[in-house]
Structure 1
């Protein structure tokens, strides 16, 4: 009975409000505050919602694991693509070096060919120049010869005309006729 009275006192104290200040108070009456109703609703939710909540959590867990697997697969694919890209980059660098070396070799060959062609052109021009100089020298010498011959002939004719009399002229003609007969006699025998 003593216990019963104590419980009754506790409930009577709990059912009263405790004022905090003039305008605000905490209501400790369990029946008025619906704490029992809230407890019952929460218990029902936990009991019946446990399966739904565990299903939701399991689905969420599966989604997260699936996302992680997909991310790992994407990472592996990206790593493989990166490896392939690095390999292609190295191959491209090697090819670029090879092309650069071939280009330098081709440049050197063309340079040597141009130097050789320039030397040949220079030699041909030098030879052509020398031929032209020799030709012009020969032509000048021939012109001088012709002019000297013409002048000598003119002078000889002038000298002959001045010093030649009819008697001397007849002797020269006879002398030449005799020479011609001698030459004819030698050729006939």
Structure 2
């Protein structure tokens, strides 16, 4: 307690000297050890160092431990993040490989589907050609049959008209009699 009293008295003396120096118009330093209370200040600093060293050392040790723990946690998080990144990059590579595989198989499937469609289209075209040829053959036969029927009808019509103009009644009897005689003679 005496030390604190001396500090208080020393501080007040310093304050009065500084006030006196300021009143005189300047500022000055007092190098008198006893008047300036340098001994008291040295004792207070020594006591603070002696008693505060444990407290301050504990605070600094705790702070250092907290910093070390934070650094270790940060390093662990960094390692975890690096592992997660590597895992995700591996998954990405697998996904890209799977996408390339799917793309390749879809291209192959598309090519085979296109080839199948072209083959089917070619087959359909060939069948249509054959059907068209058959239809044309039937149409041609029908047209020829119709033409024959017309030619026959025209020939019969012409023969009838020619016969009717060239045959008279007596000539018709004579032809009928000849035809009967050639059949066996009734």
> Is 1:119 paired with 2:136?
no
Q: Does 1:102 align with 2:90?
A: no
**Counterpart Cα distance in 2 of 1:155 and 1:167:** 21
What pairs with 1:1-189 in structure 2 (closer than 5 Å)? 23-173=26-176, 175=179, 179=183
Instruction: Tell me the SS of whatever aligns to 2:28.
Output: strand
Question: Aligned partners of 2:111 and 2:101: how far apart in 1?
Answer: 15
Unaligned runs of 5+ in 2: 1-24
Separation (CA, whole Å) in 2 of partners of 1:138 and 1:101:
55
Q: Which has the higher strand share?
A: 1
Give the distance between the partners of 2:101 and 2:180, measured in 1 at CA. 91
TM-score by length of 2: 0.75
What is the CA-CA distance between 1:70 and the residue it aligns to? Answer: 0.8
Q: Counterpart of 2:29 in 1: which secondary structure? A: strand
Cα separation, partners in 2 of 1:47 and 1:135, compared to 1, 3 Å: same
Aligned length: 160
Point out where structure 1 has 5 or more consecutive residues left out of the alignment. 1-21, 182-189
Higher RCO structure (Cα 8 Å, ≥6 apart): 2
Q: Please provide the CA RMSD for this pair.
A: 2.4
